[in-house]
Amino acid sequence: MEIYKEEFYKIFQNNFDYEIVETELGTAIKMPAHDAFIFSHITGAGYLENPIYQFSTKGLMKLFYNAFQYKFVTGIFDNSTLKNTPYIFSKAKPYIFKGDKFIIPFEIESEKDFQSEMTIKFKKIKNPKKYIIFKIETSKKGNGMEPFMEYLTAEFFKNKNYVVETQIPLAHSIGSPDFGGYRIKDFFKILYDNGLFSGGFHVIELSLLRIFNNKQKHKTLDEDSLIVGEAKTSTTQMQKQLEKYLNTDLFCSGYEIHPSKRTPTKRYFGLITLDKKYKIKNLEPEKAYMPTKPLNRDDYVLWLKNYFKYYLIANFSNDELLLFSKEKTGKIYNNKEELSNFINKLSAEDIIQKILTL
């Protein structure tokens, strides 16, 4: 199965509760601002603020180069300064977080032709910023739909009570997995005890707490689990890369992600795919994978819990973060190393309580 516009609509129709509506730009998936932000962030679909270059936060909110380390890549932070956060975006581009959004897929053979078409349409639209343009690049094998499959996988495992993430940091020698899912019960308990979230969520939602009131009913989680996935649409070859991830022994199971693959390549792989009715289908691994180059999973979980705290910190302004540092340590940090030390020593509970007062 290759995913074009028709399949795109059918996938939403058969897996989600979003309304499909007609607009001046064509048939659209209607989403609340919060959900649309997640969709745009994962897939790269862009807000139509400009007919040539649509805006998306995809790739802008990274934190670290590698797991187990705290070396910033320019993204949420630029050195020791908060740079690309939802709170900062909300000041510069407030439309992102207000009102319903309308996701519209466009099949694109030529970027130049698409830009010409969009320039003409843009002039006739009353409120272009409510539209999010999702490009289906038909000139590419597989239509460039790997990020969309990552989105579907993330949504599926969110509903299985995982913290989910795409393009996760791991290590240069191992690669960057397309998908990661984490259940860490003591971290979840802190969130649930504070009425934040009632199940799974995307990791960037931790940085949205200040913008969206996310109060939920209390829930408990009784098991830890870490999973990983590799997505493809142009090929079905994922074995080599997925085995690299599983060889680390950091993950309990690994999944091939492909829209039309029917069975996993190996019995120790799981599979996320689409059935003939466009429903997301999950096959679990039939046997355990035996890692050859194990790393310390406990150290990884500890790093992840710190990693999540940086997304919580993204709710602050730079001035508020400096004041928080002064309040907690009696001094302000002067560089990125001091900033990392400060955040790593904080408890998630301390950060959350502060966010709730902002």
Locate 350 and state its tokens.
Answer: 């301390």
Under a CB-based contact definition with an 8 Å cutoff, are residues 214 and 260 in contact? no
pLDDT at 1 exceeding the cut of 90: no
pLDDT at 198 exceeding the cut of 90: no
Residue ranges per structural domain of the chain:
5-55+93-143, 145-358
Give the mean model confidence (pLDDT) for residues 132-151. 97
Residue 223's pLDDT is what? 77
Residue 195's pLDDT is what? 87
pLDDT, tens only, 75-127? 999 999 999 999 999 999 999 999 999 999 999 999 999 999 999 999 999 99
Under a CB-based contact definition with an 8 Å cutoff, are residues 342 and 325 in contact? yes
Give the neighbor-by-neighbor strand order of the sheet with 131-137: 19-23, 26-31, 101-108, 131-137, 46-47
Alpha-helical (H) ranges within 94-236 are: 111-122, 146-158, 185-193
Average pLDDT, the chain: 95
pLDDT, tens only, 207-254? 999 999 665 555 556 678 999 999 999 999 999 999 999 999 999 999
Rounded to 5°, angle at Cα 331 from 340 and 90: 60
Q: What is the pTM of this model?
A: 0.96
Residue 214's pLDDT is what? 61
With residues binned 3-state (H G I as helix, E B as strand, rest as coil), the percentages for the chain, rounded to 5, are: 40, 20, 40
Locate 292 and state its tokens.
Answer: 């050859």
| Largest separation between any pair of C-alpha atoms in the chain | 61
Tokens 């400060």 belong to residue: 342
Give the type of residue at 39.
F
Residue 221's pLDDT is what? 62
Helix (H) or strand (E) holding 290: none
In whole angstroms, what is the distance from residue 80 CA to residue 337 CA? 8
Rounded to 5°, angle at Cα 49 from 46 and 54: 30
Give the mean model confidence (pLDDT) for residues 195-211. 93
Give the mean model confidence (pLDDT) for residues 308-330. 97
pLDDT at 148 exceeding the cut of 70: yes
pLDDT, tens only, 253-270? 999 999 999 999 999 999
